[in-house]
Amino acid sequence: MTPARNPLIAAPTRRPTPDGPSRTRSQTRRDASVARRLATVLTAVTSAGALLVTGGAAQAAQAQPAQVAQSASAAAAATQPAQQAPSAPTAPADTRVGGTTVARAGSVGAIVSSIDRALRASEIRNFGKPTRTGAVAVHFGPQTQDRVKSFQRRNKLPVTGVVDERTYNLLRPATKLTRGLNTVGRSVQGRAIQVRVVGNLATAKRRVLLMGCVHGNECEGVPVLRSIANSTPPAGVAYVIFTYPNPDGRTAGTRGNARGVDLNRNAIGWQPASARGNPYYPGTGPLSEPESVAIHDVFRAARPTAFMSFHQALRCIDFSGRGKQWAGTYARISGLPVKELSAYRGSIGTWVGNRYPSMVSLTVELPRPVPAWMIDSNIAAVKRVATRH
């Protein structure tokens, strides 16, 4: 006898958007796994004839999972708007959605500037002066690569010239978050980017990161975060409340930041997609925006065991990582159905699900407008997941 489908669990939804072919998060994880296995097999091939095959196959493997979705139905493809190449210089696409690379040759923007400043500080400590002077770098070129290699040699790290997580954490140690309000960065227009810590983050076993208005026109989940901020968490639970990670977008009432970049397409795993002016414009490279660097740094500092991000207006609960185990619980309490949405390259949820598969990650898509009872039910759902996961 076929078991009845849980009415709270909806079938995966694949929404055609300007971002490109749609993939669910579970499909993206499978694609990445296939790519890794292919790369391992190809590396073992040593014969001259096989090497000819390896070149083409390795290229195909690296292109996974960005290209695997190109066999989508003709009907879905027909709904895709024509895409233009971004007009500004862009970084190489990062095909490793769950990778540990923070920046490398070709990277651009705020992440490169933060690395340049940290390199200068390290060089002043070691040599009395920086090896590079002038304006802060915004492009990861050969000189930056050589300076990274020098830093790696001094600190007995693998000398690659690539800023991976280990190099980045040593070069730019995570900011210590303390109870209360913490300023973690500045926006494009200079506004403070702040998080509030509720509870003892240093001793809590359950550390919950709540993100509110990452899109400046999707802020109706903020009352949920404010209520949590004014509560007293039980022992062993701490909240890191990131109400306005996009303060410029909030002020302007726009999805993107002041440069029109969708911060939820600008995380590690980024790929060039929509052109500037499109609401889904991903920027010129992963972590090219100061707000994205701040978000990334908060994850490093908080080391969350659970992450919940509030959006609008698809009226559902999406998940990644271990969130699949808790999506149903959240749905039953909140009154929103579970629905696996497309996994977009460069989104924070996609990166979290692939990089930290043991983390409970939920995307809460509220309706527009949000009825008062649903604010209360989401507060209850957040507390249940936070205290039980």
Confidence (pLDDT) at 326: 96
- Say if residue 12's pLDDT is above 60: no
State yes or no: pLDDT of 210 exceeds 70. Answer: yes
Q: What mean pLDDT comes out for the span 361-388?
A: 97
41 Cα distance to chain centroid? 29
Q: What is the pLDDT of residues 287-316, one digit of tens each?
A: 999 999 999 999 999 999 999 999 999 999
pLDDT digits (tens, 9 = 90+) for 127-160: 999 998 899 999 999 999 999 999 999 999 999 9
Looking at per-residue confidence, does 35 or 69 come out higher? 35
* Residue 41 pLDDT: 38
Q: Per-residue pLDDT averaged across 354-370, rounded?
A: 95
CB neighbours of residue 42 within 10 Å: 18
| CA distance linking residue 246 with residue 263, whole number of Å | 8
Residue 116 has pLDDT above 80, yes or no: yes
Rg over CA atoms, the chain? 21
User: What's the DSSP call for residue 335?
Assistant: S
Angle at 267 between CA 189 and CA 148, to 5 degrees: 90
User: What are the tens digits of pLDDT across the range 191-202?
Assistant: 999 999 999 999
Give dist(CA 225, CA 115) in Å, integer: 32
**The token pair that represents 159 in the structure block:** 């000398």
- Residue 14 has a pLDDT of 42
The 10s digit of each residue's pLDDT in 324-356 is 999 999 999 999 999 999 888 899 999 999 999
Is pLDDT at 18 greater than 50 in this prediction?
no
Tell me how crowded residue 257 is: count the other CB atoms within 10 A of its CB.
28
| Whole-number Å distance between alpha carbons of 17 and 99 | 25
φ/ψ of residue 93, rounded to 5 = -60, 140
**Exposure letters 276-289 (e unless 16+ CB within 10 A, then b):** bebebbbbbbbbbb
Report pLDDT for 93.
Answer: 52
If you average pLDDT over every residue of the chain, what do you get?
82
Give the confidence band of 273 by pLDDT, cuts at 50, 70, 90.
Answer: confident
Query: In the chain, what percentage of residues exceed pLDDT 90?
Result: 70
Which residues 6+ apart lie within 8 Å of 32 measured at CB?
64, 65, 96, 97, 98, 354
pLDDT band at residue 23 under the 50/70/90 scheme = low
User: Does residue 35 have a pLDDT over 90?
Assistant: no
Distance (Å, whole) CA 275 – CA 277: 6
